[in-house]
């Protein structure tokens, strides 16, 4: 965004339409093509509870968006969640929010996308031995592009957006017209012997990955023309558009293949395409899915490296002076390389669902903390002065908290080691922050 030279503030150029499209573009990604496997595996091949969870996830995400909108408009600063955490809980918690994003969330998301990109290549080529080489090659290409400058990143994003929208549109139209599976999309509700509470939690965790990205628009609050009027509309409107697309495309999936088949597929979107169009048509759609996945990974690597670069500006991290340097192309080269190395380490697991769950669990700890911040903010400030107040307060924030807490709780119970690993990495940020803060304080004496 252009900077106002007199006020040294970002010019407010973002309107409702741009913000809404940012929400839609940020959310729609790889999950809609690949998460049906995890969803229908968790439900025992039953579609009913899965379709219900789509609506619940959409409702919780809307409540979450409305809740965070109040914070975003009462703290109209560019930066998003980490800024709200810092304002409400102090510098250390703000640092930890950034720490988790940089060392857990972004690298795990990038790694998950690299793995699923390779899975898609294997499904198209029939060469399983190429999974790890393709995973590594994809990461190298993504981060190489980012080291070259911002124009390349923007081009990848534009191509990816066109690809994913086109592929979804084709699958929806063809699925409804050519799909021959007339089985119910609501029955059976749950698979035999499957615990509905545990299954519901696992499905919601998968769906929060699919809906992930909505909070990114809050980072634009400081650049919006009228955040008080438009931010909540953009978030809720964008989420509703995406929810409608997701529900319709999943009905289209079920019109083509039964839920049990989707649950056993490593690449449900591709298998649906093959069932509709045959191998050649499936190959074309599969290539479109791969482009979409590549673009998603590129977007996460772009944002993640900038978050690390921003944290390094405070000089708290080790080697902050190196991480806050720009290379000859005007991008934070060292930060890009660090995010790339961490992503590479995570990608060696080769597990898409494990990595995506790892990422979502880590970030939702702070998203739930952000929901609680709404109550704290109202104690510190007079709500009557807020440009936007969350409707049906305190019900909407409570629903957002309960939704997030439920998923975190299920993850702790069903994937204890994974969850504890996230928490340990989070806690490692505490001594690093204290060491770095002490160093900064000493340097300023």
CATH of the domain at 67: 1.20.1740.10
Hey, what are 81's tokens?
Answer: 């969640």
Residues in the chain: 445
* Distances, alpha carbon 333 to alpha carbons 14, 308, 326, 338, in Å: 28, 11, 6, 9
> What's the pLDDT score for residue 7?
38
Q: Which of 147-156, 302-311, 383-392 has the highest mean pLDDT?
A: 383-392
Number of structural domains (the chain) is 1
* Distances, alpha carbon 33 to alpha carbons 40, 183, 267, 273, in Å: 13, 21, 7, 11
> What's the pLDDT score for residue 18?
76
3-state secondary structure of 111: helix
Could you give the CA distance from residue 221 to residue 231 in angstroms, rounded to a whole number?
7
> What's the pLDDT score for residue 12?
64
Count of C-beta atoms within a 10 Å radius of residue 129: 7
> What's the pLDDT score for residue 4?
44
300 within some domain: no
435 within some domain: yes
Q: Mean pLDDT lowest for which of 212-226, 304-318, 429-443?
A: 212-226
Count of C-beta atoms within a 10 Å radius of residue 117: 27
User: Which residues constitute the domain of residue 227?
Assistant: 16-102+153-280+350-385+392-440
Residue 77 has pLDDT above 80, yes or no: no
- Phi/psi for 353 (5° steps) reads -65, -40
Residue 221 has pLDDT above 70, yes or no: no
Hey, what are 37's tokens?
Answer: 């496997």
Residue 9 has pLDDT above 80, yes or no: no
Q: What is the CA radius of gyration of the chain?
A: 21
Which of 337, 344, 303 has the alpha carbon at shortest distance from 323?
Answer: 337
324 within some domain: no
67 within some domain: yes
* Distances, alpha carbon 171 to alpha carbons 6, 232, 299, 378, in Å: 50, 30, 24, 46
360 within some domain: yes
82 within some domain: yes
Kindly report the average pLDDT of the chain as a whole number. 86
294 within some domain: no
126 within some domain: no
> What's the pLDDT score for residue 133?
95
DSSP 216: G
């Amino acid at each position: 965004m252009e900077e106002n030279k007199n006020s040294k503030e970002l010019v407010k150029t973002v309107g409702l339409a741009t913000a809404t499209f940012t929400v839609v573009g940020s959310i729609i990604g790889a999950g809609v093509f690949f998460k049906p496997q995890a969803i229908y595996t968790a439900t025992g091949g039953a579609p009913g509870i899965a379709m219900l969870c789509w609506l619940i996830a959409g409702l919780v995400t809307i409540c979450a968006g409305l809740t965070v909108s109040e914070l975003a408009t009462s703290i109209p600063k560019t930066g998003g969640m980490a800024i709200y955490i810092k304002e409400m809980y102090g510098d250390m918690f703000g640092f930890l929010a950034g720490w988790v994003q940089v060392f857990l969330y972004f690298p795990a998301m990038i790694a998950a996308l690299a793995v699923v990109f390779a899975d898609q290549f294997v499904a198209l080529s029939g060469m399983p031995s190429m999974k790890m080489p393709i995973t590594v090659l994809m990461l190298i290409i993504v981060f190489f592009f980012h080291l070259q400058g911002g124009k390349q990143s923007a081009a990848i994003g534009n191509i990816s957006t066109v690809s994913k929208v086109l592929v979804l549109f084709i699958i929806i139209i063809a699925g409804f017209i050519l799909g021959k599976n007339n089985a119910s999309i609501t029955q059976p509700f749950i698979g035999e012997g499957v615990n509905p509470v545990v299954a519901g939690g696992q499905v919601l965790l998968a769906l929060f990955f699919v809906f992930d990205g909505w909070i990114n628009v809050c980072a634009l609050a400081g650049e919006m023309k009228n955040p008080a009027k438009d931010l909540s509309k953009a978030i809720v409107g964008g989420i509703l558009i995406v929810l409608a697309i997701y529900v319709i495309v999943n009905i289209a999936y079920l019109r083509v293949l039964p839920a049990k088949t989707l649950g056993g597929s490593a690449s449900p979107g591709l298998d649906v395409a093959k069932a509709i169009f045959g191998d050649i048509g499936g190959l074309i759609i599969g290539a479109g899915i791969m482009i979409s996945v590549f673009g998603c990974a590129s977007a996460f690597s772009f944002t993640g490296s900038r978050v690390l670069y921003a944290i390094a500006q405070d000089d708290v991290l080790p080697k902050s002076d190196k991480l806050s340097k720009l290379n000859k192309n005007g991008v934070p080269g060292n930060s890009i390389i660090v995010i790339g190395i961490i992503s590479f380490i995570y990608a060696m697991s080769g597990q898409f669902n494990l990595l995506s769950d790892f990422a979502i669990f880590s970030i939702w700890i702070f998203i739930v903390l952000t929901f609680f911040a709404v109550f704290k903010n109202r104690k510190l400030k007079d709500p009557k002065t807020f440009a936007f107040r969350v409707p049906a307060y305190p019900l909407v924030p409570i629903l957002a908290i309960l939704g997030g807490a439920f998923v975190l709780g299920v993850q702790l119970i069903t994937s204890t080691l994974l969850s504890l690993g996230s928490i340990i990495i989070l806690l490692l940020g505490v001594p690093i922050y204290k060491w770095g803060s002490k160093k900064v304080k000493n340097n300023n004496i």
